[in-house]
Structures are given as structure tokens and as C-alpha cells.
Amino acid sequence: MMSEFDANNQQLVLLTTEWEPKLMAIPATILETRRNKQQRTIKQILGHMVDSASNNTHRIIHLQYQPSPLQFPDYANLGNNERWIAIQDYQSENWHDLVKLWKYANLHLVHVIKHMDGSKLENEWTTALDWRVTLRDMALDYLPHFKLHLDEIDELIEQH
């Protein structure tokens, strides 16, 4: 029986596998100079994706054993994701190491999603903006966020 998360998980694994060599082939001049509308370089976008995988992993774990609604720090709102990018200085990170970290953080997130407790899918996390997000929605909404950032990287690669 296919779970409601299997298609998303398969797509995440496929994209991660397809993108790893593509990322490794990007010239340093493109990685470190071209910027998206948020003024992030490709290195900073990929670093943000690492942060997203890490934070989602932690939220998914906490949502399975903490009382619902979960009160857990929200790195993505109120400007915190920019702080995370700056504090970790992804711009100076070794590119090979960053790509591997991105790959394995996302493959681990897929593993965590595969092993979620189905009885906890309606548990909720309250964001910094007071939005309620269920464990189910968190797991399913990760893929569109992932694709959004890959599209940003693609646009920066293709810029002339």
C-alpha cells in the first residue's frame, strides 16, 4: 500500500539525485556572484535549503511526541532565515561539502517522513505568525518549497 507521502518522498529523492551533479558542475563565478530577488547567491540558497531540511526534520520529530499545538522556534519567519544564512556564512562554505550536506539532509528528511507515526498526522505546530500547520501538511508542503528553490537556482544558472 502506498502512503500519501510516498510520491513526495520519491520526487525528493529523484530531484536530489538529479541535482547533485548539476550543482557540482556550477562554476564558482556563478555560485558566488549571481543573486536572486532576495539577494541570495546559489550558495546561500542551498544553505537555506539545508536549514529548511534541518528545521523540518526537527519539527516533524517534535510533533510526534510533544503536546499539540507545538511551540517550537520558527526560523523561517520574521527575518530569521536570513540570520541563519548569515551566521552560518554559507557564502564561504566549501561548495562540495555544502552540496553533500544538502543531499544527505534531504535524504534523511525523506527517511524521517517515511517513519512518521500515522496517529500523529493531525498534531499541529504554531508558527511565529500564529498559523497552525499539521504534521501531514508539513511533510507534504516540503516538496513545493524544495522545488521553488531549485527553480531559483536554475534561473540563476541560466542568467546571461
pLDDT of residue 1: 47
Average pLDDT of 101-126?
97
Q: How far apart are CA 44 and CA 150, in angstroms?
A: 12
Joined together, the cell numbers standing for residue 84 give 541563519
Average pLDDT of 88-115?
97
Judge whether residue 2 has pLDDT over 60: no
pLDDT of residue 160: 60
- Among residues 137, 140, 145, the alpha carbon closest in space to that of 45 is found at 145
pLDDT of residue 66: 94
Domain chopping of the chain, boundaries: 6-158
Termini Cα distance of the chain: 47
pLDDT of residue 140: 97
CATH level 3 topology of 6-158: Four Helix Bundle (Hemerythrin (Met), subunit A) (1.20.120)
Q: Are 105 and 50 in contact (CB under 8 A)?
A: yes
Average pLDDT of 79-106?
95
Average pLDDT of 90-101?
97
What integer best gives the mean pLDDT of the chain? 94
What's the pLDDT tens digit per position in 15-74?
Answer: 999 999 999 999 999 998 999 999 999 999 999 999 999 999 999 999 999 999 998 888
Give φ, ψ of 27 to 5 degrees: -65, 145
pTM of the model: 0.94
